């Protein structure tokens, strides 16, 4: 048996793989020594040991690199889906980097311009010092909740995937958006423009959005029921906002909102509806708009590659179906959520006479669907007609939706047991299940 000279550095390099190779080498050396008469070759063992450990270290380093890359990829994916808690300090840093001090006249690297003619409600430095909390990623960039020192809260929206526009054209389009003022539209407070960044600043809507109001906490004890009266009020508020946008948009060959869906319907501290993300069609690159905006999911775009004001009407009809059924529409379902093609589903239910199953149990409770729900359903069916020419104008929609509450105030309750209880021309009173 060959004796290996003791070397403390050699001892530190020993790993399981190296030990195994050493064992093989030792056995081979023993055989060689027996054949050659026991000639010593200790330096050869040390060389084998060093090579073996180098191989092991390279393999370990390679595995660590792969693990690190996969870990970062998974972490980023989870943050994008809001599975991981947000790092407020990190969010503040990102938002701070995006905003560089400038002047309303365009001095410096960027500028923050307030839309209110009375002047800014806060200074740019206040925004720099604010703490930020990530609200999530939308179709066109991340949103941050900025808490100013004076107690005011604003939302900073970073815009991405915009079409190439000169600064003058960008400002012109933004001014057109800011000029849309209505009690049911979320106002644009300010915008920021630089070569690298485009930001919009909005008031913070304290009571969340319609998507979470409709679908959040389903099947849990924490679920707060969203009753019929509140849903009807939401449908009416959205219709009024949409009518205002259409009335102040001259072109018929565009959708004034363009991306109407429940996640873009907010509620203020008084639970009043605030429609947001309107007017972005004029800023977003067309290929991106076609992929992400609701107006491009309409039947006419699928067949003729065109949108119009009637595309917004179709989107409104889908939104009303979502309010009535409590189901998520397939065309606007968030990633990982299974949606339903509501227009086809509701039409099939009416055609096959199982209308009573359409309505969300949360609004019919024990009394069944009332006349107002059925009226609203038929308005939505007209809005979702496959032919844009057959859809009503949004002004007509508002007039009909506003009547629902007035007419239902005069109705008494009755149970809807089957579809024979109602027809479009029926005079039978179904009732009002107001909550």
Question: Model confidence at 211, in pLDDT bands (50, 70, 90)?
Answer: very high
Of 254, 426, 238, 370, nearest in space to 317 by CA:
238
Question: Model confidence at 378, in pLDDT bands (50, 70, 90)?
Answer: very high
Is-contact 343 320, C-beta < 8 A? no
State the residue range of the domain holding 103: 88-203
Domain membership flag for residue 432? no
Note whether 271 and 414 are same-domain residues: yes
Domain membership flag for residue 99? yes
Domain membership flag for residue 398? yes
More confident position, 81 or 154 = 154
Last residue of a domain, one of 183, 203, 223: 203
Q: In angstroms, rounded to a whole number, what is the distance separating the alpha carbons of residues 294 and 259? A: 5
144 phi/psi in degrees, rounded to 5:
-130, 140
- Where helices occur in 272-391 by DSSP H, the ranges are 286-292, 299-304, 309-325, 342-351, 361-364, 371-383
CATH of the domain at 106: 3.30.200.20
Domain membership flag for residue 16? yes
Domain membership flag for residue 405? yes
Domain count for the chain: 3
Q: In angstroms, rounded to a whole number, what is the distance separating the alpha carbons of residues 399 and 318? A: 18
CATH of the domain at 231: 1.10.510.10
Note whether 251 and 284 are same-domain residues: yes
Contacts of 353 (CB under 8 A, 6+ apart): 418, 419
DSSP, residue by residue, 240-263:
HHHHHHHHT---SSS-SS----GG
Indicate whether 325 pLDDT > 90.
yes
Last residue of a domain, one of 154, 182, 203: 203
Per-residue pLDDT of 67-124, as tens digits, reads: 777 666 655 554 444 433 444 444 544 455 545 433 443 444 567 888 887 766 777 7
Q: In angstroms, rounded to a whole number, what is the distance separating the alpha carbons of residues 210 and 258? A: 17
Note whether 98 and 232 are same-domain residues: no
Contacts of 18 (CB under 8 A, 6+ apart): 49, 52, 53, 56
Per-residue pLDDT of 131-152, as tens digits, reads: 888 887 777 888 999 998 778 8
Residues facing 133 on adjacent strands: 145
Instruction: Show the tokens assigned to 374.
Output: 């059925």
Note whether 94 and 72 are same-domain residues: no
The predicted model gives 297-319 an average pLDDT of 95
Note whether 179 and 298 are same-domain residues: no
Note whether 264 and 411 are same-domain residues: yes
Start-to-end CA span in the chain (Å): 93
Last residue of a domain, one of 203, 230, 251: 203
DSSP code of 37?
T
Domain membership flag for residue 184? yes
Domain membership flag for residue 164? yes
Indicate whether 383 pLDDT > 90.
yes
Note whether 317 and 263 are same-domain residues: yes
Note whether 17 and 121 are same-domain residues: no
Note whether 304 and 330 are same-domain residues: yes
Note whether 257 and 154 are same-domain residues: no
**Mean pLDDT rounded to a whole number for the chain:** 78
Q: What is the CA radius of gyration of the chain?
A: 32
Domain membership flag for residue 283? yes
Per-range mean pLDDT, top range of 92-96, 274-278, 406-410 = 274-278
Note whether 138 and 231 are same-domain residues: no
Note whether 198 and 170 are same-domain residues: yes
Binding residues: 157
DSSP code of 279?
T
Binding residues for ATP: 157
């Amino acid at each position: 048996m060959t004796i290996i000279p003791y070397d403390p550095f050699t001892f530190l390099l020993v790993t399981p793989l190296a030990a195994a190779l050493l064992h093989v080498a030792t056995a081979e050396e023993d055989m060689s020594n027996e054949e050659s008469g026991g000639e010593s070759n200790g330096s050869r063992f040390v060389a084998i040991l060093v090579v073996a450990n180098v191989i092991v270290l390279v393999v370990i380093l390679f595995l660590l690199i792969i693990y690190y890359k996969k870990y970062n990829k998974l972490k980023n994916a989870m943050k994008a889906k809001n599975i991981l808690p947000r790092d407020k300090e990190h969010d503040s840093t990102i938002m701070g980097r995006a905003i560089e001090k400038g002047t309303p006249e365009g001095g410096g690297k960027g500028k923050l311009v307030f839309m209110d003619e009375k002047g800014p409600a806060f200074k740019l430095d206040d925004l720099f010092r604010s703490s930020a909390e990530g609200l999530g990623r939308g179709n066109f960039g991340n949103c941050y909740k900025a808490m100013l020192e004076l107690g005011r809260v604003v939302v900073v929206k970073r815009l991405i995937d915009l079409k190439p526009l000169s600064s003058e054209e960008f400002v012109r389009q933004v001014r057109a958006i800011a000029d849309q003022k209505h009690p049911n539209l979320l106002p644009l407070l300010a915008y920021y423009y630089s070569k690298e960044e485009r930001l919009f600043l909005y008031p913070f809507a304290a009571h969340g959005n319609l998507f979470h109001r409709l679908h959040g906490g389903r099947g849990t004890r924490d679920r707060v029921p969203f009753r019929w009266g509140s849903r009807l009020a939401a449908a009416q508020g959205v219709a009024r906002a949409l009518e205002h946008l259409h009335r102040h948009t001259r072109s018929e060959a565009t959708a004034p909102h363009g991306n109407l869906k429940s996640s873009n319907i907010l509620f203020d501290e008084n639970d009043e509806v605030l429609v947001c993300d309107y007017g972005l069609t004029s800023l977003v690159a067309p290929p991106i708009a076609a992929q992400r905006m609701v107006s491009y999911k309409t039947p006419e775009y699928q067949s003729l590659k065109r949108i119009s004001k009637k595309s917004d009407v179709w989107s409104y009809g889908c939104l009303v179906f979502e309010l009535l059924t409590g189901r998520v529409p397939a065309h606007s379902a968030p990633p990982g959520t299974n949606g339903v093609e509501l227009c086809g589903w509701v039409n099939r239910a009416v055609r096959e006479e199982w209308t009573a199953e359409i309505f969300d149990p949360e609004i019919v409770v024990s009394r069944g669907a009332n006349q107002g729900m059925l009226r609203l359903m038929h308005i939505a069916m007209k809005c979702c007609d496959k032919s844009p020419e057959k859809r009503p104008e949004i002004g007509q929609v508002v007039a009909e939706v506003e009547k629902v509450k007035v007419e239902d105030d005069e109705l008494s309750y009755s149970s809807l047991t089957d579809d024979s209880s109602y027809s479009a021309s029926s005079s039978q009173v179904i009732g009002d299940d107001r909550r």
